[in-house]
């Protein structure tokens, strides 16, 4: 068996690590992860020879001893007891060598957007590494850490979780110097079991920061976050009554009046919804903490294009369409619907997909969602997904329900001569694939 310090020497000589042969790079190190068989051998061991022979891997980290004995590439096989654990331990070893500030982001909603906005803002002054895509789980976080190299001056790592203990596990790997919890909503409610557990899980980031005397960025507008931050000796605040704050000037696409100390500036963003205000304030605070000017923050906010399916604007059959369907939970659905009802004028269709991963809370939360809708504010309200079969649908003439996005698409295409001024607002869990209704396929 090879030790972590020994493996780190191989990594230093070949600092590209991957677990998917489709992402192979010649001279990298392949980790054979995946489901284990009855003997405890990872499925990825089946691809170790291919990684070396065909794809040019310098080494393959495996936990099948037979690969060392029967393969002509045995000398390039690095044997460990568990490949996933080895990957995590290697990333922890690498973390100890890094001398740059690391910011960890946890929370229920908005982590990816927060990360991307912060990356843009900090890039005004620093060479920034940030988590790619949603590489934020027990494998993605180690792989992200191992991509940080000597050119980087600061790093932002996103921590994703859906069970108690997972945020703590990831935070222990990252050992961040700074941390932000975006909010505590009703994400993964079925897995967590209660809102109290969601708050506890998100707070695990601050728990770990407290043990290392790290620094928490805390939202003064959020009493839950303030309470979670009390355990830290080092914390700074943003929001109401603080040096960094902002006010909405126009919505639904937010135009804000950003204040940092005595300075103020108007910022026009492409973010849909007043619920993004705290995100913008948090990023402005962190960027200001690291020396970014208010003009630099304005530049970043105005340049930011929401990622695919996150406030994505498109056209379909001459109609404006807003796609906010990368993910959905009761908290994000509630503010989305409220924003359209309160902040959007004109004729509109509301398309909502079911919320997944709610477990025993599914019926209650879907029923609460439908009770929130002001049906007379919309030309049509279209529901997609089987979860709506389990509840009492209101008797509304403009309400339609379909089990699949495909059936919803057929229905919408049958509506001829729709006024082109009608806009579509679309949100639901990723599994609904609501974007396919509008001929977008991700």
| pLDDT tens by residue, the chain, 442 residues | 999 999 999 999 999 999 999 999 999 999 999 999 999 999 999 999 999 999 999 999 999 999 998 888 989 999 999 999 999 999 999 999 999 999 999 999 999 999 999 999 999 999 999 999 889 999 999 999 999 999 999 999 999 999 999 999 999 999 999 999 999 998 888 899 999 999 999 999 999 999 999 999 999 999 999 999 999 999 999 999 999 999 999 999 999 999 999 999 999 999 999 999 999 999 999 999 999 999 999 999 999 998 778 888 999 999 999 999 888 999 999 999 999 998 899 999 999 999 998 999 999 999 999 999 999 999 999 999 999 999 999 999 999 999 999 999 999 999 988 999 999 999 999 899 999 999 866 5
What are the Cα distances from residue 137, in Å, to 110, 142, 321, 423? 16, 8, 31, 36
Cβ(194)–Cβ(165) below 8 Å: no
For residue 287, report the phi and psi dihedrals to the nearest 5 degrees: -60, -45
Round to whole Å and give the CA distance between 362 and 320. 31
Q: What is the DSSP string of 163-212?
A: STTHHHHHHHHH--SEEEE-----TTHHHH-SHHHHHHHHHHHHHHHHHT
Cβ(281)–Cβ(246) below 8 Å: yes
CB atoms within 10 A of CB 242: 17
Round to whole Å and give the CA distance between 107 and 126. 25
Closest CA to 271 of 318, 306, 247: 306
* pTM for this model (two decimals): 0.93
Q: What is the pLDDT of residue 257?
A: 98
Q: What is the pLDDT of residue 441?
A: 62
**Which H, E and C letters describe 234-295, residue by residue?**
EEEEECCCCCEEEEEEECCEEEEEEEECCEEEEEEEEEECHHHHHHHHHHHHHHHHCCCCHH
Domains identified in the chain and CATH numbers: 4-83 (3.40.1390.10), 98-303 (3.40.1190.10), 312-438 (3.90.190.20)
DSSP character for 1? Answer: -
């Amino acid at each position: 068996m090879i030790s972590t310090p020994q493996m780190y020497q191989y990594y230093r000589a070949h600092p590209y690590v991957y677990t998917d042969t489709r992402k192979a790079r010649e001279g990298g190190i392949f980790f054979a992860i995946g489901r284990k068989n009855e003997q405890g051998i990872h499925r990825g061991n089946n691809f170790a020879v291919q990684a070396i022979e065909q794809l040019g891997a310098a080494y393959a980290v495996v936990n099948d001893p037979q690969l060392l004995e029967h393969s002509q590439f045995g000398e390039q096989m690095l044997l460990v007891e568990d490949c996933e654990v080895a990957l995590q331990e290697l990333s922890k070893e690498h973390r100890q060598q890094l001398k740059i500030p690391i910011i960890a982001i946890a929370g229920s909603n908005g982590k990816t957007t927060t990360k991307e906005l912060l990356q843009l803002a900090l890039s005004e002054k620093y060479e920034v590494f940030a988590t790619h895509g949603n590489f934020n789980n027990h494998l993605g976080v180690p792989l992200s850490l191992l991509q940080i190299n000597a050119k980087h001056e600061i790093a932002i790592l996103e921590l994703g979780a859906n069970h108690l203990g997972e945020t703590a596990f990831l935070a222990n790997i990252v050992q961040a110097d700074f941390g932000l919890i975006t909010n505590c909503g009703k994400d993964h409610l079925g897995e967590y079991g209660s809102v109290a557990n969601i708050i506890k899980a998100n707070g695990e980031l601050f728990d770990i920061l407290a043990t290392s005397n790290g620094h928490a960025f805390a939202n003064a507008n959020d009493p839950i976050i303030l309470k979670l931050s009390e355990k830290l000796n080092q914390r700074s605040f943003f929001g109401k009554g603080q040096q960094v704050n902002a006010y909405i000037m126009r919505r639904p696409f937010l135009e804000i009046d950003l204040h940092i100390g005595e300075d103020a500036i108007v910022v026009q963003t492409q973010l849909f919804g007043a619920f993004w205000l705290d995100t913008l304030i948090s990023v402005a605070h962190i960027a200001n903490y690291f020396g970014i000017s208010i003009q630099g923050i304005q530049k970043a906010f105005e340049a930011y294009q929401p990622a695919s399916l996150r406030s994505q604007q498109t056209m379909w059959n001459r109609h404006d369409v807003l796609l906010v369907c990368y993910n959905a939970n009761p908290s994000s659905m509630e503010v989305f619907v409220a924003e359209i009802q309160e902040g959007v004028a004109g004729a509109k269709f509301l398309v909502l997909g079911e919320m997944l991963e709610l477990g025993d809370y599914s019926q209650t939360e879907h029923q609460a969602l439908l009770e929130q809708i002001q049906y007379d504010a919309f030309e049509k309200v279209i529901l997609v997904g089987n979860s709506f079969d389990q509840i009492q649908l209101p008797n509304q003439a403009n309400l339609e329900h379909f089990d699949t996005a495909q059936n919803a698409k057929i229905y919408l295409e049958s509506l001829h001569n729709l006024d082109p001024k009608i806009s579509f607002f679309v949100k639901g869990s990723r599994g609904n694939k609501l974007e396919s209704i509008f001929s977008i396929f991700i």
